[in-house]
């Protein structure tokens, strides 16, 4: 083989390697994008379901029926997406996100809602989880645009009221002691 043949072979190998690297980059980018969308959608749904449940159990009707004592009975929060991405195989990609720490804290707070062995009222733990989400959106740790995109219209209007100052964060309802 002459030098020109070797140059052609090397050029083809390098171009294939470059295409493979570019392809791998875009696959990782799309997977991260989809993961973020799914996590934000689940967080928004959990937020909305918890807000509805808190308002229901702390209403006069709910208090008459002792609903705060049965807070978890009809609470519809999901950990499916979180569990999938927090698995050993996916965890590296999850913790590659800039907001991974905030998302982890949010899910930690959400998981404490259902723990009946903890002292205190369950609906207060629900407010603590909501306060964590409020705080992360207010300080910009969570992406507001993505949260808006992944939220239902009603859920976004409720959150937008917080972001525009029309309502207070759940943090203000918690005992500072």
> Residue written as tokens 């171009």?
15
Q: What is the DSSP string of 61-125?
A: HHHHTTGGGGGGGG-----HHHHHHTSTTTHHHHTTSTTHHHHHHHHHHHHHHT-TTSSS-HHHH
Model-level pTM?
0.85
pLDDT tens column, 98-127: 999 999 999 999 999 988 788 888 888 999
């Amino acid at each position: 083989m002459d030098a020109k043949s070797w140059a052609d072979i090397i050029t083809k190998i390098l171009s294939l390697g470059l295409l493979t690297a570019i392809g791998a980059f875009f696959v990782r980018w799309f997977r991260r994008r989809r993961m973020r969308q799914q996590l934000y959608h689940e967080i928004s749904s959990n937020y909305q379901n918890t807000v509805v449940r808190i308002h229901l159990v702390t209403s006069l009707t709910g208090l008459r029926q002792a609903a705060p004592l049965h807070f978890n009975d009809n609470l519809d929060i999901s950990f499916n997406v979180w569990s999938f991405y927090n698995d050993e195989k996916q965890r590296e990609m999850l913790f590659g996100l800039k907001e991974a720490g905030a998302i982890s804290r949010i899910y930690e707070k959400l998981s404490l809602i259902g723990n009946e062995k903890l002292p205190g009222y369950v609906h207060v733990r629900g407010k603590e989880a909501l306060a964590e989400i409020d705080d992360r959106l207010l300080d910009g740790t969570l992406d507001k645009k993505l949260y808006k995109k992944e939220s239902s219209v009603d859920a976004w209007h409720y959150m937008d009221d917080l972001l525009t100052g029309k309502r207070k964060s759940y943090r203000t309802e918690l005992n500072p002691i």
